[in-house]
Chain A
């Protein structure tokens, strides 16, 4: 089963729509609650990243009986050093943004923590592809 969603850059109001819809489907498929939670958190964080940094993005969630593969492709600034970006606390946010409570450098580590397998490809200046693969079995 393939689910598709569009993300608009800067549209914080609608960030989370895709994770909400995926959650609903997984509940109806009787996926264990703890597995759903991981998928939803990973996807939600990814959505917020796209909204915050890119001009637009596309989500494809492919669900089969034992796993979900989520691909999020965006047209954004890209990540120059992925390894560094994965470190907890690493952030590109300005001091002002951090004072507002955002950009604590926990986004990607949080996605990693909630993914069984995480793959990131990025071309600076063009965009980023994030692929999250999670087990859905009992």
Chain B
């Protein structure tokens, strides 16, 4: 509950529930949950076989997570053994994205700092918590979408029927899945399905360990240059942008920086790269390898990169690669009616004076302030606070049975030690 940067989680009946409109799909809860209770929605791998042309879009961190003794050729070869017909590295299109950025970061009239739309969790965070900053978001699709559009077009040009092409994204993160299931700034996602990277990792390691890879393979996209290899890591974008650039990773760090940016913009920063995960995509929730080792391997791979800088042909076509305007959807408002919101605000302040302020979370809300908000919104009762409950019992306003009932509805009835000892 405390891992959630937007306070979207509550505990009810012994289980964590997520308040959907607050969730930015960052995946922090999945990393934090000790019993893996939070599952990430994903597509069944067998769905790829609905298409004769089965394209896997692979981010560079996917290769980076494998131990150094595993050959890249085996990884890509293994993916073909699993059933993909084409493998394209997503980061082969970063020069296209760069062309889109160039138009914006050199723009004098545009809102500065321009904020990258690379990380879908950040886009959602800004929508729900920093509505004043949505105009700073760069209207360029992230590399995964640009790659999907670019390579789909390429396959169509080679004569494949559009309905026969299935584009599958191998994802390191939960936010990417959500952004494909319910896209922001796009009508429909250009990707047909998302495959959990952990799933592929397990399958591939199994194949490789048992010598079942049919033959080695390279990717079907041109080899990456060092810019492409490092693009999804921290400073991957900011190192290549014009003017003063800053990269911040980790969603709490990002939140802190955005709070500041909203209040006073004295930073004179032109370009902001913001990533929800610590170490950016190398720290994605579905990455199996250690994030620091993944970064180290990718840095080494970048040092040995064969790819030509700017090697991918193509020009930034705005009709294909630009995002629609991103709308704010603030979750902070207590009520759409200002008068009602004022009343709730006053009540909230009164409650904060009574609640103990130690954020113990025993009430099932992540902090005293969150409980106060839940109370004014009718989602909780003051008696859910264990401290107030104690006072209510002493004053005779609440019976012990009622208190048991309340606590059971938060922590789950099976937590009662009396039922355990029977």
A-to-B contact residues, CB < 8 Å: 1, 16, 19-20, 23, 25, 27-30, 33-34, 36-37, 40-41, 44, 63-66, 136
Instruction: Tell me the complex Cα distance, A77–B192, Å.
Output: 67
Q: How far does the Cβ of B389 sit from chain A's closest Cβ, in whole Å?
A: 27
Q: Mark B230-264, 1 if CB is under 8 A from A, else 0.
A: 00000000000000000000000000000100111
- A65's partner among B132, B330, B342, B348 (CB-CB below 8 A) is B342
Q: Mark B107-138, 1 if CB is under 8 A from A, else 0.
A: 00000000000000000000000011000000
Interface residues of B in 12-61 (CB under 8 A from A): none
Number of B residues, CB within 8 Å of A: 20
Q: Which of A27, A41, A64, A136 has the most CB of B within 10 A?
A: A27
Interface segment, B64-72, B333-341, B394-402, B405-413?
B333-341
Chain A residue numbers with a CB within 8 Å of B338 are: 29-30, 65-66, 136
Check A37–B132 contact: CB distance below 8 A: yes
- Asked if B209 is at the interface (CB within 8 A of a chain A CB), the reply is no
Main secondary structure of the interface of B (DSSP, over half): helix
Check A1–B342 contact: CB distance below 8 A: yes
Chain A residue numbers with a CB within 8 Å of B348 are: 28
Check B334–A33 contact: CB distance below 8 A: no
B-to-A contact residues, CB < 8 Å: 131-132, 259, 262-264, 328, 330, 332-336, 338-339, 341-342, 345-346, 348
Main secondary structure of the interface of A (DSSP, over half): helix
Instruction: Tell me the complex Cα distance, A18–B346, Å.
Output: 18
- B333's partner among A20, A30, A40 (CB-CB below 8 A) is A30
Q: How far does the Cβ of A43 sit from chain B's closest Cβ, in whole Å?
A: 9
Q: How far does the Cβ of A116 sit from chain B's closest Cβ, in whole Å?
A: 17
Q: How far does the Cβ of B348 sit from chain A's closest Cβ, in whole Å?
A: 8
Q: How far does the Cβ of B327 sit from chain A's closest Cβ, in whole Å?
A: 11
Q: Which residue of B lies closest to A25 (CB)?
A: B345
Given contacts A20-B259, A23-B263, A28-B332, are A33 and B346 in contact (CB under 8 A)? Answer: no
Check B342–A29 contact: CB distance below 8 A: yes
Q: How far does the Cβ of A88 sit from chain B's closest Cβ, in whole Å?
A: 17
Chain A residue numbers with a CB within 8 Å of B342 are: 1, 29, 63-65
Check A29–B263 contact: CB distance below 8 A: no
Check A30–B330 contact: CB distance below 8 A: yes
Chain B residue numbers with a CB within 8 Å of A19 are: 263-264
- A33's partner among B131, B263, B345 (CB-CB below 8 A) is B131
Check B132–A34 contact: CB distance below 8 A: yes
- B346's partner among A1, A34, A37 (CB-CB below 8 A) is A1
Check A33–B336 contact: CB distance below 8 A: no
User: Can you spell out 20 A-B residue pairs with CB atoms less than 8 angstroms apart?
Assistant: A1-B346, A16-B264, A25-B345, A27-B330, A27-B332, A27-B333, A28-B332, A29-B333, A30-B330, A30-B334, A33-B132, A33-B330, A37-B132, A41-B263, A41-B264, A44-B263, A64-B342, A65-B338, A65-B342, A136-B338
